[in-house]
Chain A
Amino acid sequence: MDFIENIRLAVTGLLSNKMRALLTMLGIIIGIAAVITIVTLGDAITSTVSSTMEEMGGKNITVLLEEKNPEVVLPGMSQTLGVSMGFDIMGNMAESDLISDEMIGQLWDRYGDEIQALSMIEQVGNGKAQDGRAYSNLSVSGVNEDYEKSESLTLLEGRFINDRDIDRAVNVAVISDKTAEAIFGQADKALAQEIKVHMDTEIQTYTVVGIYEYEELVMPMTTQVAEEDVRTAFYIPLSTARKQTGAPDGCKSFTLMAKQNIQPSELADKVENFFDVYYRDNVNYRCSAASMDTIIEQMDDIMGTVSVAIAVIAGISLLVGGIGVMNIMLVSITERTREIGTRKALGATNGNIRIQFVVEAVIICLIGGIIGIILGILCGVFGSSVLGYPAFPGIGIILIAVTFSMLIGVFFGYYPANKAARMDPIEALRYE
């Protein structure tokens, strides 16, 4: 018996009872739509986060002190991520616990040929540059010379903080073009000028030695502030910063940039082993080194866990949908008992009847699946644009959804179809 004939039959059957067909498909529609939507949103978030991380420095290794017995560990995410994103979650620590300049010097001696740059930062705090009514919000940080390289800053005018500035702990600063424009009207006029910065308790005056190009970080879901209120980084020499804050020499963390031909994760392992020697006997702290690619891996791990959870939920809703299809097929078969008897009297084999109802179940699921896919695409595209990174589901997931809905049809249609196939023709014909 023709396959096309079976499909035609199934479609006419469905069209004759549209409402019932739609209700039957609902489980499948919701299940498939949910999968497509969530996969689309997940893809959008993962790729945006990964590319943001990449932008923040794919070759960078964050080295930082970690508590040996942390009280709270975020699942799947180390403190590395928190620190690298600018949150200091370490408590107070003794000066002897810090990474000293000698350690860093020895690190250079050992692995200097694999390290492109070693940058350090000491947060001073938020401040405000002010000149009459003109102002600019700042985040003041003490940095070393290599900071420019590891953060890939683009210098527009002048120079960056250098070792001589640090040795002499002078009040010089590298400011953003935004700050320069706000205070001096024009970026190139700022060079060699004095700039007053209001901190919480004091006012410091710096000489501008360089201007860098401010780049907005594409961070998802950050609250938007007015253009002129944007807080930009204000770089001063590391030693100057320590002098101001009274921080001891030595640091809690620094950033390494691996050379072009060096695998960051391998260098990170070496650095961690290097510091293990110093911190073996320290009861409270150890030193960890993690490269951005490890962080991205961790991110992928989290996404993987989320995907499994989604798969389980989708699986359950598709199971419920499949049972719905099976139920309606059983009802339909009972209603059409006489028809089945007639077909058998006219010479239909058990196989003919079975295939007819399996095809019908597959068609129901396929139509449900297609409606679900369309709905899922709409929700996914809409949802991802609302979140700020428009995405479209891949062709792969759509094909999987189509195949999967057909498999549901075969799986849940088989039992009712087989029941129909095995009906006794006489009893079926007598059925009232």
Chain B
Amino acid sequence: MSEEKQVIIQMKGIRKSFYIGQPHELEILHGIGLSVRKGEFVSIVGASGSGKSTLMNIIGALDRPTSGEYILDGVDISKAGDGELSGIRNRKIGFVFQTFNLIPRTSALKNVELPMLYSGTSKSLRTARAKELLEIVEMGERMSHQPSELSGGQKQRVAIARAMANDPAIILADEPTGALDSETGRLVMDLFHKLHREQGKTIVLITHNQELALETERILTLRDGNFISDEKGGQV
């Protein structure tokens, strides 16, 4: 991994706490430092409740840290307003969820078009791009299907195509294979490898599956709101 490569995620002393009733304030992240370079494929592992999703929300500009500094692709997230965060999520981040979160009663094609709709892409361009992406995830045959007519693995492939819609800098996937059997999980994982390899996408993957984590370039282990290790992964 080349040292010259541009840093895309830069976190310093990120803390996150939640208010749970008046006197208590529950701190989940205790000063996380993290730096991810462009084109890296990183996995985050850790026990349930260790704060992986909380951290992912902050990386994805869905949430602001209680304190600390976070610069995403040159933008200071800790100081951005709501509207600015929407724009960042729209153009710089592609989310892939454990539960797919496709919009119901809306065709695969329309689902993939959605981020482009919010970014103001013209109708013809977004349809063309959505079709191209669905071809890449091998869902070209099922473009007009609604989510209720798709299997879990197919849904996740559509969701990945949707995450790619605005050609984001980073793809964030929170347990994308968690709801799939190992075989379909394998297919989804292969898709991430393909995007990483062929399109040079930066990917941050949260997983409970040690084997899948080992396939990534870098494995970060979270325990009780702190990184306890940052190791180089197996071969890609």
Task: Verify A16–B105 contact, CB threshold 8 A.
Answer: yes
Task: Check if A171 is an interface residue, CB within 8 A of chain B.
Answer: no
Q: Which residues of the other chain, B, contact A12 by a CB distance below 8 angstroms?
A: 105-106
Distance from B86 Cβ to chain A, minimum over Cβ atoms (Å)? 4
Task: Verify A429–B89 contact, CB threshold 8 A.
Answer: no
List the one stretch of B22-30, B95-103, B192-200, B206-214 in contact with chain A: B95-103
Question: What's the Cα separation between A9 and B114 when bound, in Å?
Answer: 12
Q: Which residues of the other chain, B, contact A341 by a CB distance below 8 angstroms?
A: 101
Question: What's the Cα separation between A341 and B101 when bound, in Å?
Answer: 9
User: When the two chains form the complex, which single residue of A1, A5, A345, A350 contacts B95, counting CB atoms closer than 8 Å?
Assistant: A345
What class of interface size applies to chain B in its complex with A?
Answer: 20 to 34
- Tell whether A349 pairs with B63 under 8 Å between CB atoms, given A342-B103, A343-B114: no
| Number of interchain pairs (Cβ within 8 Å) | 66
Q: Which residues of B in the span 104-136 have a Cβ within 8 Å of any Cβ on A?
A: 104-106, 114-115, 117-120, 123
Question: What's the Cα separation between A349 and B82 when bound, in Å?
Answer: 8
Closest chain A residue to B120, Cβ basis: A1
Task: Verify A347–B91 contact, CB threshold 8 A.
Answer: yes
Q: Which residues of the other chain, A, contact B89 by a CB distance below 8 angstroms?
A: 344-347
User: When the two chains form the complex, which single residue of B62, B86, B103, B123 contacts A2, counting CB atoms closer than 8 Å?
Assistant: B123
Task: Verify B117–A2 contact, CB threshold 8 A.
Answer: yes
Q: Which residues of the other chain, B, contact A349 by a CB distance below 8 angstroms?
A: 82-83, 86-87, 118
Q: Which residues of the other chain, B, contact A426 by a CB distance below 8 angstroms?
A: 57, 62-63
Q: Which residues of the other chain, A, contact B115 by a CB distance below 8 angstroms?
A: 346-347
Number of chain A residues close to chain B: CB under 8 A: 23
Task: Check if B46 is an interface residue, CB within 8 A of chain A.
Answer: no
Distance from B71 Cβ to chain A, minimum over Cβ atoms (Å)? 19
Task: Check if B90 is an interface residue, CB within 8 A of chain A.
Answer: yes
Task: Check if A338 is an interface residue, CB within 8 A of chain B.
Answer: yes
User: When the two chains form the complex, which single residue of B83, B105, B118, B120 contacts A346, counting CB atoms closer than 8 Å?
Assistant: B118
Question: What's the Cα separation between A5 and B115 when bound, in Å?
Answer: 13
Task: Verify B118–A347 contact, CB threshold 8 A.
Answer: yes
Task: Check if B162 is an interface residue, CB within 8 A of chain A.
Answer: yes
Question: What's the Cα separation between A343 and B104 when bound, in Å?
Answer: 12
Q: Which residues of A in the span 1-32 have a Cβ within 8 Å of any Cβ on B?
A: 1-2, 5, 9, 12-13, 16
Distance from A181 Cβ to chain B, minimum over Cβ atoms (Å)? 76
Distance from B64 Cβ to chain A, minimum over Cβ atoms (Å)? 11
Task: Verify B60–A345 contact, CB threshold 8 A.
Answer: yes
Task: Verify A346–B90 contact, CB threshold 8 A.
Answer: yes
Q: Which residues of B in the span 158-182 have a Cβ within 8 Å of any Cβ on A?
A: 162, 166
Task: Check if A348 is an interface residue, CB within 8 A of chain B.
Answer: yes
Question: What's the Cα separation between A338 and B102 when bound, in Å?
Answer: 10
Task: Verify A346–B162 contact, CB threshold 8 A.
Answer: yes
Q: Which residues of the other chain, B, contact A348 by a CB distance below 8 angstroms?
A: 86, 90, 118
Task: Verify B123–A429 contact, CB threshold 8 A.
Answer: no
Task: Check if A352 is an interface residue, CB within 8 A of chain B.
Answer: yes
Q: Which residues of the other chain, A, contact B123 by a CB distance below 8 angstroms?
A: 2
Task: Check if A339 is an interface residue, CB within 8 A of chain B.
Answer: yes
Q: Which residues of the other chain, B, contact A347 by a CB distance below 8 angstroms?
A: 86-87, 89-91, 115, 118-119, 166
Question: What's the Cα separation between A338 and B62 when bound, in Å?
Answer: 14
Question: What's the Cα separation between A426 and B83 when bound, in Å?
Answer: 16
Question: What's the Cα separation between A12 and B104 when bound, in Å?
Answer: 11
Q: Which residues of the other chain, A, contact B63 by a CB distance below 8 angstroms?
A: 425-426
Question: What's the Cα separation between A349 and B87 when bound, in Å?
Answer: 8
- Tell whether A338 pairs with B117 under 8 Å between CB atoms, given A346-B162, A347-B87: no
Q: Which residues of the other chain, A, contact B86 by a CB distance below 8 angstroms?
A: 344, 347-350
User: When the two chains form the complex, which single residue of A13, A342, A344, A352 contacts B105, counting CB atoms closer than 8 Å?
Assistant: A13
- Tell whether A345 pairs with B118 under 8 Å between CB atoms, given A2-B123, A339-B104, A426-B57: no
Distance from A97 Cβ to chain B, minimum over Cβ atoms (Å)? 83
Question: What's the Cα separation between A344 and B117 when bound, in Å?
Answer: 12
* Chain B 47-68 interface 0/1 with A at a Cβ cutoff of 8 Å (1 = within): 0000000000100101100000
Task: Verify A429–B117 contact, CB threshold 8 A.
Answer: no
Closest chain A residue to B57, Cβ basis: A426
Task: Verify B62–A5 contact, CB threshold 8 A.
Answer: no
Question: What's the Cα separation between A347 and B95 when bound, in Å?
Answer: 10
Distance from B176 Cβ to chain A, minimum over Cβ atoms (Å)? 14
Closest chain A residue to B101, Cβ basis: A342
Q: Which residues of the other chain, A, contact B117 by a CB distance below 8 angstroms?
A: 1-2, 5
Closest chain B residue to A338, Cβ basis: B101
Q: Which residues of the other chain, A, contact B101 by a CB distance below 8 angstroms?
A: 338, 341-342, 345, 429
Question: What's the Cα separation between A345 and B63 when bound, in Å?
Answer: 10
Question: What's the Cα separation between A346 and B117 when bound, in Å?
Answer: 10
User: When the two chains form the complex, which single residue of B57, B103, B119 contacts A339, counting CB atoms closer than 8 Å?
Assistant: B103
Q: Which residues of A in the span 341-399 have a Cβ within 8 Å of any Cβ on B?
A: 341-350, 352
Listed by A's residue number, 20 A-B pairs whose Cβ atoms lie within 8 Å are: A1-B117, A1-B120, A2-B123, A9-B106, A13-B105, A339-B104, A342-B97, A342-B101, A343-B103, A343-B114, A343-B118, A344-B62, A344-B89, A345-B62, A346-B90, A346-B115, A347-B118, A348-B90, A349-B82, A426-B62
What 7 pairs across the A-B complex have the smallest Cβ distances? A347-B90, A342-B101, A349-B86, A347-B118, A346-B115, A347-B89, A345-B95
Given contacts A13-B105, A342-B103, A348-B90, 7 further A-B contacts (CB under 8 A): A5-B117, A344-B62, A346-B115, A348-B118, A350-B86, A352-B118, A429-B97
